[in-house]
A and B are shown apart, each in its own frame.
Chain A
Amino acid sequence: MIVKLISFFGSRTCSYGAAIADFSSFIMSIVNSFKYLKKVRFRTYYEVIINQTIFTGVNALIIVASIALLAGGTVIIQALTSLPKFGVEGFLGNLLVIIIARELGPLLTALIVISRSGSAIATEISVQKWSKEILSMELIGIDTRLFIVLPRVIASVISICGLIIIFDIVAFLGGYLISQTVVYISLDQFGQTLINAFTFKDIGAAFLKGTLFGITIPVICCYYGLKPVSKFEIPIYVSKAVMRTLFVTIILNIMVSIMFYV
């Protein structure tokens, strides 16, 4: 029994080790490709960047705004009804900034992008690999590491940072409007508490999170997208891409919060 357990955990550790080494070599190959960035003609990248930004950013606006509205409304209603009970209603702005701007905005935006675009990136690339489109690009002399990953990273950073701003604005304003159905608070008072609570640190943290999520989501999804060697493996790796990106995103979110606020 003990031998079996040791063997099980040993093999799991080895496979995690091998996976981390493989991912590291993928990252290194991208970094190596960056050395030749000056030889790249960016006109071939523009269309991919624009298409990816439209899909990841513009097309996600409605769902991000809807979720922001609901999340903002819930937080504001809870805050406005609960804070007075503890006599700390003056901290409304701080609480909103802490919950919505610092944590919910970046994290929920990232989750939406992972579920929409992350899965789409992994699926698109694995299908392209299976149908030998990626091989064809390599045979044209295209550096596929850069051609596939770089435009998606640029589009993703732009989209996520933009979506976080929109999420926060909709969550605050929409949430305020929803809260009016439960309790009354004037817009001036609401706005002033928010302005007082916001610091540059919050804005910096949100943008850092947006940038890190914008890099990690496409990179991990591209990595898993390039993994399948048969059609049968495509859904397996797409699922892995989504779950592992989710996990890494939450870890990154915590790390940035610790870095800025602890």
Chain B
Amino acid sequence: MTRKLLELKNISYKAKSGIHLDNLSFDIMHGESTLIFGPEESGISELFDIIIKVTKDYEGEVFYKDKNIGQFRHQELLEYKKDIGYVHGNYGLLSNMTVKQNIALPLDYHTDLSEEEVEIFVETVAVLLKLTHCLDERPFDLTASEILRTAFARSIVLDPDLLYIEHAFENHCRMNIKVIIEFLRERSLRNDKSLILINYSPENYIDLVDKYIMLYDGRIVFQGTTENFLSTDNPYVVQYKKNSLEGPIVIS
């Protein structure tokens, strides 16, 4: 866990909505699992758009595997995005495709695997995530956790080095997504695969992540290991854990 996978350097950005990021810097190392949390409008939602260069009018630099993504051209950017598995709260499954086609899409598009090999690969992932019973169904026929598991399966089939899960586990029973958590736990043991988990309930993932970052008002107000997170007397973290309205965090 010594090499940097992702590095954000002095990122400042102001969105039209007024949400801003103020000189934000942090690193994600190879093999590191990080949970980023904070209240709404703390700037967390803007992070991913900057990391994948959807937002371009920011100050500062983003490096991925020591390469400045600001200098990526069209094809390099596509290759870079392919290297990041992303699951968001809306899941984004293609509604005109079946579960099998949704999972197979990245493999069909990016690899030279034959049709049979893709099928075997998809079935292996489907077994792992308990999706075999609904492989031929379309997203509107699925339950909420099946939709999440399909979106998750699609994000991992290319075995990305960085997995970015943004508010995807909210509103899910932990029992229904246990297979995903187990997969992430096993994955976190590998020293070449990193995870960024965005979640409003950081205390639920202490056994899954190594590092916590808390954002508030576009700034990092806490950064530390899981032990630090559990024992800190940082007033922002304390207020957040207590769910209290009294403290340095002002909720408008």
In which size bucket is the chain B interface? Answer: 20 to 34
The docked-state distance in angstroms from the alpha carbon of A124 to that of B94 is 11
The docked-state distance in angstroms from the alpha carbon of A32 to that of B80 is 18
The docked-state distance in angstroms from the alpha carbon of A43 to that of B86 is 24
User: Which segment of B28-36, B101-109, B223-231 sits at the interface?
Assistant: B101-109
In the complex, A1 has a CB within 8 A of chain B: no
Q: By the criterion CB–CB under 8 Å, are B154 and A140 in contact?
A: yes
Given contacts A36-B74, A36-B75, A39-B75, contact A141 B106 (CB under 8 A): yes
The docked-state distance in angstroms from the alpha carbon of A137 to that of B91 is 11
In the complex, A250 has a CB within 8 A of chain B: no
Residue of A nearest to B110 (CB): A141
Collect the chain B residues with CB atoms within 8 Å of residue A147's CB: 109
User: Which segment of A56-64, A90-98, A128-136, A232-240 sits at the interface?
Assistant: A128-136
Given contacts A33-B74, A141-B78, contact A41 B109 (CB under 8 A): yes
The docked-state distance in angstroms from the alpha carbon of A134 to that of B88 is 13
Q: By the criterion CB–CB under 8 Å, are B88 and A132 in contact?
A: yes
Which of B54, B78, B79, B108 is close to A44, meaning CB atoms less than 8 Å apart? Answer: B108
The docked-state distance in angstroms from the alpha carbon of A124 to that of B74 is 25
Collect the chain A residues with CB atoms within 8 Å of residue B109's CB: 41, 44, 140-142, 147
Q: By the criterion CB–CB under 8 Å, are B90 and A132 in contact?
A: yes
The docked-state distance in angstroms from the alpha carbon of A35 to that of B73 is 12
Closest beta carbon of chain A to B112's beta carbon, Å:
8
Closest beta carbon of chain B to A69's beta carbon, Å:
33
Collect the chain A residues with CB atoms within 8 Å of residue B112's CB: 41
Closest beta carbon of chain B to A73's beta carbon, Å:
38
Which of B74, B75, B84, B96 is close to A139, meaning CB atoms less than 8 Å apart? Answer: B84
Closest beta carbon of chain B to A173's beta carbon, Å:
37
Residue of B nearest to A130 (CB): B90
In the complex, A89 has a CB within 8 A of chain B: no
Collect the chain A residues with CB atoms within 8 Å of residue B96's CB: 124
The docked-state distance in angstroms from the alpha carbon of A35 to that of B88 is 31
Interface of A is mostly: helix
Q: By the criterion CB–CB under 8 Å, are B95 and A139 in contact?
A: no
Within 8 A of B (CB), among A123-172: 124, 127-128, 131-133, 135-143, 147
Given contacts A41-B108, A131-B92, contact A140 B75 (CB under 8 A): no
In which size bucket is the chain A interface? Answer: 20 to 34
Q: By the criterion CB–CB under 8 Å, are A139 and B81 in contact?
A: yes
Q: By the criterion CB–CB under 8 Å, are B95 and A140 in contact?
A: no
Q: By the criterion CB–CB under 8 Å, are A135 and B92 in contact?
A: yes
Q: By the criterion CB–CB under 8 Å, are A132 and B74 in contact?
A: no
In the complex, B130 has a CB within 8 A of chain A: no
In the complex, B185 has a CB within 8 A of chain A: no
Residue of B nearest to A29 (CB): B74
Within 8 A of A (CB), among B120-157: 151, 154
Q: By the criterion CB–CB under 8 Å, are A143 and B78 in contact?
A: yes
Q: By the criterion CB–CB under 8 Å, are B81 and A138 in contact?
A: yes
In the complex, B167 has a CB within 8 A of chain A: no
Q: Mark B154-188, 1 if CB is under 8 A from A, else 0.
A: 10001000000000000000000000000000000
The docked-state distance in angstroms from the alpha carbon of A135 to that of B84 is 13
- Can you list 30 A-B pairs, Cβ within 8 angstroms, ordered by A? A36-B75, A36-B78, A41-B109, A43-B108, A44-B105, A44-B109, A131-B90, A131-B95, A132-B90, A132-B91, A132-B92, A133-B95, A135-B88, A135-B92, A136-B86, A136-B91, A136-B92, A136-B151, A136-B154, A137-B92, A137-B105, A139-B52, A139-B86, A140-B81, A140-B110, A140-B158, A141-B78, A141-B79, A141-B81, A141-B110
